[in-house]
Amino acid sequence: MSDAGPSPVPDRPAAAAGGASSSSTLQVGVGLLVLGLSGFVFLGLSGRDLGPAAAAPVSVAWTILNAVGIGLFMPLEQEVGRRISAARARGAAFPPLARVRHYAAAALGALALVAAVFNGPIADTFLGGSRILLVVLVLALAAQALEYYARGMLAGTGRFRRYGAQLAVDGAARMVLSAAIFLLPTSSAALYAAVLVLSPALATLATIPLRDLLRRDGPAVPGERYPLAPLVTTSITAQLVANAGPLAIAVLATPAEQAITGQFVAAITIGRVPLFLFAAVQAVFLPALAAQVTTGRHAAFRAAMRRGFAATALLGGAGVVGIAVLGRWVMHVIYGPAFDVSVLDITLIAVSGALFMVAQLLAQGLLAHKTDTVVALGWGLGIVVTVLSLALPLPITTTVAVALCTGSGAAAAFFALALQRTTRAWESRLTLDTPEDR
């Protein structure tokens, strides 16, 4: 592997080194708006084209990509961004990333093996019996892994203009390809699923030079370890909490209730619109917090957490009110009159999204302190509470919506207590080193 040359010049160095600038957030936010819109277009066109029942496997494949794919490969972005940002804050060379790449290869190999061995049960339970759809899903996971690795490099070096462009290209490709399939005289679930392979691959190749992806690692920092297992566990459990609803519906619904799965996934996309906007803050938040922890700036860390919490609470509250009033109407406009859920269900989905955002924000603060295991425990608690709540004697969609709320709420409460203890211990250690406020 040859040396890629000098470190790329970041669009906004300050964003990676110490603070999530409003410009960085705006750049990522624009890309996320396009990517978020593409989710509606993708699911909306496939739903109108195939109908609620036939589109259900596509909706579940999209959910699995969000749950399993993001769970396994978001750590690539987080760890690469965290390592590069911390190294830049110290004025050090490019960090070693070989173990991160090895993890990505091993994870993809394991996914392919599981899909090959258990193709029948997986396809029958989640994908309407389609083995072809399962193959396409594995390829989509591989494309997603490459995309998240590239995003980590862009975030860690502060190139948020390119980061936002990658999101935008991904979203634009999804919309164009989905529209092209919709206009075909015949279509299938596999064709729509193929969009989930092509769009991230095109976005990655269009927005990051190949030499960056092949860049030679810098020297390891003596005594510094980078365990990936806790971060991966954290990410997987977080995504299971976030995406438990469609998966639970797919398992609990009878064959006669297949259309309910497609309708509920449609409701999820509408009810959790604020999560797309929140992701713009999250993308630049962890590298900034990691740099503040690395340099011991506890006052800046607390201020950033307060601002983040205020923004999250405002966004989540506005989302709940907006979804309660307009959610069903928006669902009918995007997906058609065949897709419908009750006002109660879609409002509960919005509440669960707001609680999940709060939990994610607090988890970012803990991850900046490298307390990955604690975060994994919090999400694990959320999963347990979610599963237990599925036993409630309510209609199936209401039961799942309530379970999403209780799971996210339990995780948020756990993280609030853990972050308070972690921050106090960190500040106490800093005070022993120097009495001055950093």
pTM for this predicted structure: 0.72
Checking phi first, is residue 309 left (phi over 0); if not, alpha (psi -120 to 50) or beta? Answer: alpha
386 in Cβ contact with 406 (< 8 Å): yes
Q: Tell which residue, 356, 331, 361, has the closest CA to residue 343.
A: 331
DSSP annotation of 225 reads -
Out of 2-11, 29-38, 147-156, pick the least confident: 2-11
CA atoms 197, 272, 357, 391: torsion sign: negative
For helices 70-90 and 98-117, give the axis angle rounded to 10 degrees. 180
H-assigned helices in 11-130:
13-17, 22-64, 70-90, 98-117, 119-126
Mean pLDDT, rounded, for 22-44: 79
Q: Tell which residue, 30, 40, 32, 42, has the closest CA to residue 196.
A: 42
Three-state secondary-structure class, residue 96: coil
How far apart CA 433 and CA 436 sit, in angstroms, is 9
Centroid of chain to Cα 328: 25
- Whose tokens are 């004697």? That residue is 393
* Structure confidence at residue 434 as a pLDDT band (50, 70, 90): low
* Structure confidence at residue 282 as a pLDDT band (50, 70, 90): low
How far apart CA 45 and CA 187 sit, in angstroms, is 11
DSSP annotation of 223 reads T
Residue 14 has pLDDT above 70, yes or no: no
pLDDT in tens, 304-336: 888 888 888 888 899 899 999 998 898 888 887
291 in Cβ contact with 32 (< 8 Å): no
pLDDT in tens, 127-164: 878 899 999 999 999 999 999 999 988 888 888 889 98
- Whose tokens are 């409460």? That residue is 413
How far apart CA 214 and CA 75 sit, in angstroms, is 19
Q: Name the more confident of 218 and 353.
A: 353
Per-position DSSP letters for 335-395, written without gaps between them: H-TT----HHHHHHHHHHHHHHHHHHHHHHHHHHTT-HHHHHHHHHHHHHHHHHHTTSSS-
How far apart CA 246 and CA 197 sit, in angstroms, is 21
Mean residue pLDDT across the chain? 82
Q: Tell which residue, 74, 98, 96, 100, has the closest CA to residue 87.
A: 96
User: What tokens appear for 308 in the block?
Assistant: 């983040």
Mean pLDDT, rounded, for 381-405: 92
Out of 128-142, 218-232, 355-369, pick the least confident: 218-232
CB-CB neighbours of 106 under 10 Å: 10
Checking phi first, is residue 158 left (phi over 0); if not, alpha (psi -120 to 50) or beta? Answer: left
φ/ψ of 334, rounded to 5, equals: -80, -45
